[in-house]
Structure 1
């Protein structure tokens, strides 16, 4: 609870704050945001917990893709658990959890944003190595290397999210009806802080990772056109669906970031700045709530991808989706052994390799990502 002295200090410091409006200043936006987050919580939290349980309890030998999906589900599930605080914030239109929670919750949300896109990027890079350099996969992608990369990724995302911890505080605000309320809002005191934080979020947390992802898939598609590629597994389409869904739901958030950055280049009394500020502030709650949807969309994607397993395997269908059945692996092995050299790597892509590892038709090598 904020005492009187803290409230006066926060109130006085916000007088010169260029971001006097808050995300809870628009009634329609906050109500819509609260409804979206409520649906996201009801769908996303149990869905991601189920994914984590399926991988940890049902799968003994976990592939690289499965380990990355496990980390993604853990991050998304944890974020879903935090949505209850933001639902209360939007519904009450006042922050009731103190300054430490204000900083901490938004920091954790930003950490999840970076973690999600970085994990998806790692999935795409792993796919690239498996298709373009399959003979190097067992050397470059070992369990030790993958573990170190994932740990390093988590350290990096925690560093990248620090601006959301620094540039946010609780302050006293009042609306047009002179109702006093606490808001958890950015505390940028100069324009360059606004430009730095939101531009950095968009470039590091969206633009650059997507450039890597798109480049990876362009190279993959070009390589596959030169081979007799046999699509055998669902993970390629599944990863592409994850990439597309993340982009759809996070793009509006980053568009608002860029609008807010653009507004800071205009003078304070500029009509253009006023218009851009109004667009950004009135849309922030809805676009942030839409971004949360990406964390609950993955369980839905996995369910549709694994629907053929549901009747046969029941609650184990998710595990079967990620690892494939033993019968399918046995069948693939028998077909590969008919007059051709056999090699197996744990991936989901089937390509033809020659004896020296170059693309050709003489030797069949099954690669299952």
Structure 2
């Protein structure tokens, strides 16, 4: 018999993917250049040349049996050490190889982190707006996801609502900064307050509360200062990273879990990730991709286009009367719809071949997400359609 759990998931398909699939079909009719697809967060810039050269060099100079052989269960030691060295240089934290576990992207990292620190039935708290796939990640680990309502004025943490939900059955708090879908970067003040609260509850209950920090957009920030690094402010942090956005490699599925050196049972958690990998059939990312990204830890793709697109859309949306928090990073913007039902609003947008994602699945009904990782020319060409849509509500 097919498990009912997965049968139910068939009726809960990703709204993002379904809208993207609609766009693919629509493009066959009117041409892809005429579909203004803001649905999927797929990077629109090429990987850096260093990555291409690293792949070529590995293929041309490495022993093929070694290059294409199995990776150790915890990942290639030299890659783990290179990641640890990079994190130490950047953030001043004494990571070693034993604190790093390579994964298939940030999704794999979050899935491993949840299983490593949560027992079946424990709760995981996250904050709206949140990435919808957190729900299957959490539930797939036998845990329960509870969503703290959004502070829509700035999309920072609503601490009074968080405190209501904190109890000894909370194994972890899951954050995403810079945030998908809002583009908001948690301030250092927000993260310090969160750290202080979690430390207080740890002392009160005599048990660790883990902070799982999902950071695939860490490098896409629009200020001159980098985004605050949560693990530097709260020792019991498991950092989940992906190279999908920084190096424009979403299809290569490469990331890692980093357990802070002062995290409770840090080394045991990484060892446990290896056992989780056995049980889920994960068994490490491809060896060649691990080795290639290890040569590109200090570079990124040319990410400047995302700020350009942000500036164009933020100005246009606010000029048209949309309520919108200005994104501090990522390639997403999360305006309030011009009617209470964001699903109906996004359906109306399809009449103008604008593909927008309703905010309901992100835990924020009444809002919608635009993924502006598209060519700037297409952003500019989409503006008349956006104006026509807004005009319907005047």
Q: Which TM-score band (shorter chain)? A: under 0.3
Normalised TM-score (structure 2) = 0.24
**Higher share in helix:** 1
Normalised TM-score (structure 1) = 0.25
Name the larger-Rg structure.
1
